[in-house]
Structure 1
Amino acid sequence: MTKLRIGQGVDFHQLVEGREFWLGGVLVPHHKGALGHSDADVLLHAICDAMLGAAGLGDIGLHFPDTDNTYKNIDSKILLARCVELIGGKGYQVVNVDSTLCLQAPKIKPFVPQMQAAIAGILKLSAEEVSIKATTTEKLGFVGREEGVVAYASVLLEKAD
C-alpha cells in the first residue's frame, strides 16, 4: 500500500471591481477582488484540488459544486477544512504544501505569514510546512492586465499508520 501520495491543483478567477480579495484565507486590501460562487479564494481552491486529487477523490467542483447554493459566498477556509475531513476519511493527512500565486498586483509578501498561519491551522501543520510564493507575469496576458489571478499548489499526503 502506498503511504505517500502527491497532488497538484490549479485555480483561476477573474478579478472585478466591488469584490473582496481573499487569498490564502486572508482578506487582502485591493481595488479588485476575485469573482466566484464562493469567496473565490484561488489559493485555497488550488490546495483543495491538490489534496482531493492526491487522495483520489476528484476535485473541488465534485464535492462543492457552484450549482449548489449551500456554497454561495462560502468562506473557502470551510471548504479546506472539509477537504481535510475527506482525505482523513481515506486515512491521509497533509505533510506539506508548496504553492505559487500568479498576480500582477497587489504585492502579497506582507500577507504571506498570515496566509501560512491560516492554512497551517486548518491542515494541522506548522507555518513552515506551508510554502506560498508569488510571481507576476511581467504584465503579459490576463494576469498581467490584472483581469485575473491564478494559483498553483502541490501537496504531499501521508497515510496514517
Structure 2
Amino acid sequence: MSLQIFILGMLHKGDYHPYDVKKRIVQGTNNTVNVTDGNLYYNFEALLKKELIQKSQIIHAENRPDKITYSITAKGREVFKEEIYKSFKNAKSIRSLFAALPFIEYVDTKKLVFYVEEIIERFEKKLQELEERVLAAEFESVDPNFKLLMSEVITDSLQLEIRMFKKLLILLQNQ
C-alpha cells in the first residue's frame, strides 16, 4: 500500500499523469526506490477500480497514445488519511513510513504522536528483552565472536530505530 499512499498523496496536491508521479518518487528518493512502469500503472488501475481516484483529463495527440491525468476522489481522500494512520500504527521500521511522511500535513499529528510513542515503547521493550536473555540458547554452538557480532547487529539496529522514532516524535510534536 505504500506506493498507493504516495500516489494518493500526490493526487491530493493536484492532478498528475502516472509518469509525473514516478518522476517525483525517483527524484524524492534519490533513485533508491525502484518503481517499474508496470507496478505504477497496476496501482493506478487498482485505485481507479476502488474509486479512490478518477480520470480527470484525457489529452489526445497524433501518433501518440492518449495521456491521462488523474485526480483523487472524496472517498480517496478519506482512505488516504486512514492509510497514513494505519501505516503509523503498524510501522515495523522508520523506513516503512517513508511513503506517508511527505503527507502528514493532511492528518492529525496528535494521533501520529500517540502511535509513535507506542512504537518507541514497543521497540524499547524488545531491546530490554533482548538484553535480558543475552542471545538465545539455540545459538550456543555458534562461535562466541560471531554470537557477539549477531547480538550487536540486533541491538544496534533496535537502538537506531528507537533514536529515529524519537526524532520523528519531536518533529511531530513541533507541528
TM interval, short-chain normalised = under 0.3
Which gives a bigger RCO, structure 1 or 2 (Cα 8 Å, sep 6+)? 1
Larger radius of gyration: 2
Structure number with the higher helix fraction is 2
